[in-house]
Chain A
């Protein structure tokens, strides 16, 4: 078998093998059970809570938990704005990079706060090491926020009737200390030995073999990259993200980073199954997500590996695939696979330039973000998927002649209302954003890097990536303008917090409802049939709404290119 394909299979299988025990571990953490790190981290956490004046054992209602979530996110936002706008005089700035202006700082802070990491600056020149370290902090906290939100959902969906759903501060801190930090340390050490730099010394001078003098940007990359992937953040230390040879020095590091970004989203599914004691359901969810993932990843791997027909027409050897924007050490197949992995989950890191992908590869990347729940980001993936479960439960419940119920709780008008608002929000943000950009060409056409349909795709991609909190881009777009910084900034906020609040609210309402025991007339939600139903709902609700927009972008480009 082709070594490039073998590499892809290995990445998927390793992720799955690691995710199973990790899922079990995560379920134990949120369940408050003992774990092997208790003796080391227990005292640290207790100290943090004591100083902060938090009683970690106090259970809160879901509303109270959400308020806590929003307040601490607000603190992170303000602190971020302050640091990014004052980097020039703050310490740890060996390259003397300038402070960011207000709208860029707004966009950058929001972007990292919401797990998107859309980067309208370049890491080499647009930010100091202090800024990088704060953004790294945000990459921890945003993943922890999403996962703590999912933990709320876990508790609400456990059998029985509930009043309290744990304590957000406790979940947040434990996610950081027990899950993210240990994994990051392990991965950071591995990357160090793959050749990723870890230094605070700033740019290095180097003379090339041909005698030209060069500057090489370095920095604390080995600390930054682990959380970028484990936290499904995707914010690159360097502008070229994981295509950069210091951020991703070889195929080995590529495999590590690939596994790392899918690890927690996989594990959260299994943790969910273990936590609510329905492992079968976890496998069905995993199966549906994998099916959806493969439906996008296989064509992309194929198309990128097959190469650009327009270049093949020129009569050169096209066997390596579509190499524009790709690295030789990684290969076109691994780039095609990565392009979907990074878009189905909300990482948004890239190891090749998506702008230069084949038109239908670009479409699949867009679709992956439009759907935004095949695995999905840390914690939020399962929250997004939950909305589709609710819709699927509702329609299929009616189809079997019973008031729809999920895990023993009836789905009624109030839950449907919230679910529909959240399901509507995503197309609204993407389509309305793109429509605005199309309606004001004076602000946007000048920033496009490509003409015609591909230019339209660049705008569509930017808003899709923002709404999905993904962060990858058709990077040709000159996006550091007030227009892009501000509009995407608002799309980012709405696309992050409402899809956390909505599902948690639904789960909270369900959690407090009376539990109805199952009977033969109850629709089983852990069967392949129901899984298929969910997939159909996702395909029709999430994907079809974007059909007209996609037609004017990648599809038109595809048909025109023949």
Chain B
């Protein structure tokens, strides 16, 4: 056992240098060429910078809402509700969300509410909503902003991000980009 101790320690330090050091430095270098210089995808808009991929809380009825979040879109942390699918307390929360949504959106039927708008995301920072989640909010925003619903639907259409290469994964809308475009509409 002793015969392996010193070689183990030396080998550990050397590989630490390589695997934590050199490897990290190479990627830090390459990051300077990447979007946001390694800070992730950023959007500059009206003199401010936003993280494109970090969801924000939109509670104002004049904006497209994002999904419920277990961490209140506080990106210094992350996480989901971790409620079991049959947890009565959880099912009550979902019911309440549906009711509250119907109060704010009186023009739509219950069956039109998509499930992503009443369930919390895994990260609590979900930047996206589904197509249906955007469309179902269009009547409310059209009413409050005085924009014809058709132009809102056209906007949603334009902002929809299609599946990867048109083949893989779901279609979605980035709520931040959608709301920026909404503000631009005026």
Which A residues lie at the B interface, using CB under 8 A?
A: 3-4, 6-7, 10, 44, 48, 51-54, 67-68, 71-72, 74-76, 79, 122, 124-125, 133-134, 136-137, 140-141, 169, 172-173, 176-177, 181, 184-185, 188-189, 192-193, 195-201, 203-204, 206-210, 212, 214-218, 220, 222-223, 238-240, 243-246, 249-252, 254-255, 307-308, 310-311, 314-331, 334-335, 350-353, 355-359, 449-451, 454, 457, 474-476, 557, 560-561
Which B residues lie at the A interface, using CB under 8 A?
A: 1, 4-12, 14-16, 18-20, 23-24, 26-28, 30-31, 34-41, 48-60, 63, 67, 73-88, 90-91, 94-95, 98, 110-116, 118-130, 132-133, 163-164, 166-172, 176, 179-180, 183
Do A307 and B10 contact each other (CB < 8 Å), given the known contacts A7-B163, A328-B170?
no
B38 and A199 contact, CB distance less than 8 A? yes
Closest to B125 in A: A245
Do A239 and B77 contact each other (CB < 8 Å), given the known contacts A195-B40, A356-B85?
yes
Do A216 and B34 contact each other (CB < 8 Å), given the known contacts A185-B26, A454-B84?
no
- The CB with the most chain A CB atoms within 10 A, among B56, B79, B98, B172, is that of B79
Expressed in whole angstroms, the Cα–Cα distance for A359 and B95 within the complex equals 20
B123 and A243 contact, CB distance less than 8 A? yes
Report B-chain residues with C-beta under 8 Å of the C-beta of A255: 164, 168-169
Shortest CB distance B58–A (Å): 6
A317 and B86 contact, CB distance less than 8 A? no
Do A331 and B41 contact each other (CB < 8 Å), given the known contacts A210-B58, A245-B54?
no
Q: Looking at the complex, which one of A7, A203, A210, A222 makes contact with B56 (CB distance below 8 Å)?
A: A210
Can you report 29 residue pairs joining A to B where beta carbons are below 8 Å apart?
Answer: A48-B11, A48-B15, A137-B16, A185-B26, A188-B30, A189-B27, A192-B30, A192-B38, A195-B52, A196-B40, A204-B51, A216-B54, A217-B78, A222-B27, A222-B38, A239-B78, A240-B78, A246-B53, A251-B163, A311-B119, A319-B132, A320-B116, A322-B115, A325-B82, A326-B119, A355-B80, A357-B85, A359-B86, A450-B84
Expressed in whole angstroms, the Cα–Cα distance for A140 and B73 within the complex equals 32
Report B-chain residues with C-beta under 8 Å of the C-beta of A44: 18
Report B-chain residues with C-beta under 8 Å of the C-beta of A169: 7-8, 11
Report B-chain residues with C-beta under 8 Å of the C-beta of A208: 50, 56-57, 73
B116 and A218 contact, CB distance less than 8 A? no
Expressed in whole angstroms, the Cα–Cα distance for A321 and B132 within the complex equals 13
Shortest CB distance B46–A (Å): 9
Report B-chain residues with C-beta under 8 Å of the C-beta of A54: 7, 11
Extra 16 A-B pairs, beta carbons < 8 Å, given A314-B94, A324-B119: A136-B19, A136-B24, A141-B15, A176-B19, A184-B23, A197-B39, A214-B54, A220-B24, A240-B122, A250-B164, A308-B85, A320-B114, A324-B120, A325-B81, A328-B133, A356-B84
